[in-house]
Amino acid sequence: MKKITVIGAGTMGNGIAHTFAQKGFAVTLVDISEAALERGMNTIATNLDRMVAKGSISEADKTETLSHLQPSTDLKAAAETSDLIVEAATENLDLKLKIFRQLSEFASENCILATNTSSISITQIAAVVSNPERVIGMHFMNPVPLMKLVEIINGYNTSAATTQTIMSLSEQLGKTPVEVNDYPGFVANRILMPMINESIETLYNGVAGVSEIDTVMKLGMAHPMGPLQLADFIGLDVCLAILHVMYDGFKNPKYAPCPLLVNMVRAGKLGVKSGEGFYNYAASKKAEVVADQFKK
């Protein structure tokens, strides 16, 4: 494993690319948008600057990390020479299937194809790929450079060799890989999203306010961040998409998204990324602190 391609220059994609590059891998960050690539590369540089300022890395480390990164809009050229491709595009099944059909055509048969999906079936994605035994889930947590967990999700056809390779590779990145099987939401979101959804239901039913709900969970349950704050950080649209995947997959009403969540997404109140969710990130100093604590 020497050459890595990461597809998608958004929050997860640039974080994954940053992490691989910091460990010395040659990384091509691919996106269809030049503007998205520029934003992604700028984000990586800014995060590295923050690490230098904190003394976590040296200026030389920053320069070396950036030297391992190459932005590109040419998926075919990047895929043809890659040992591993990590897809980190938007959490949309049709989009992911389109990308993996292209990867099946462009990448060598020995290239491992991983997806950073947080809920979509690995087996379903692998079904559009030749040699589906090389397809696996590699679910990083946000912010990727800091969070230790990687959920390694086996599809129905994922080979033991593929799993072992990705488990070992995750350890090389300084992560703790946890092997799980392919069911909607896997482990992390199967447990987390119902909690977030129930927190929204609690607000929706007038049991308590936003800060009160979050304070109970932070002080009473020792959570570092309240569930409504966390939902804002994840993105309310992402939370809604994951809940839809689980509801469709299990047909269990406990996964049905709260109407308040649905309406907030319809209104464009998506959390940190839109400037407003359960907190107002444009006006509230408290909200600004919440958003910033995950950048440390």
* 269 marked ligand binding residue: no
Q: Is 167 annotated as a binding residue?
A: no
Q: Which of 118, 119, 121, 199 is catalytic?
A: 118
Please state the φ and ψ torsions of residue 246, each to the nearest 5 degrees: -70, -40
| Pairwise CA distance, residues 188 & 254, whole Å | 16
* The one catalytic residue among 87, 116, 151, 276: 151
Residue 118 a catalytic site member: yes
DSSP bridge pairs for 6: 29, 86
Which is catalytic among the residues 87, 139, 154, 170?
139
**Residue 216 per-residue DSSP state:** I
* 116 in catalytic set: no
Q: For residues 40, 43, 49 and 50, what is the CA-based torsion angle, rounded to 10 degrees?
A: -140
**Which residue, 173, 167, 228, is CA-closest to 196?**
228
151 is catalytic: yes
91 is in an annotated binding site: yes
Q: Is 96 annotated as a binding residue?
A: yes
Q: Is 55 annotated as a binding residue?
A: no
Token readout for 113 is 């194809």
Q: Which of 116, 189, 197, 199 is flagged as catalytic?
A: 189
35 in a known ligand binding site: no
**Nearest one of 176, 123, 294, 272 to 225, comparing CA atoms:** 294
Judge whether 8 is annotated as a binding position: yes
Is 170 annotated in a binding site? The answer is: no
273 known ligand binder: yes
Q: Which two tokens stand for residue 222?
A: 């020792």
Query: Binding site: what residues are annotated?
Result: 8-13, 31, 91, 96, 118, 142, 273
Catalytic residues: 118, 139, 151, 189
Query: Binding site for NAD(+): what residues are annotated?
Result: 8-13, 31, 91, 96, 118, 142, 273
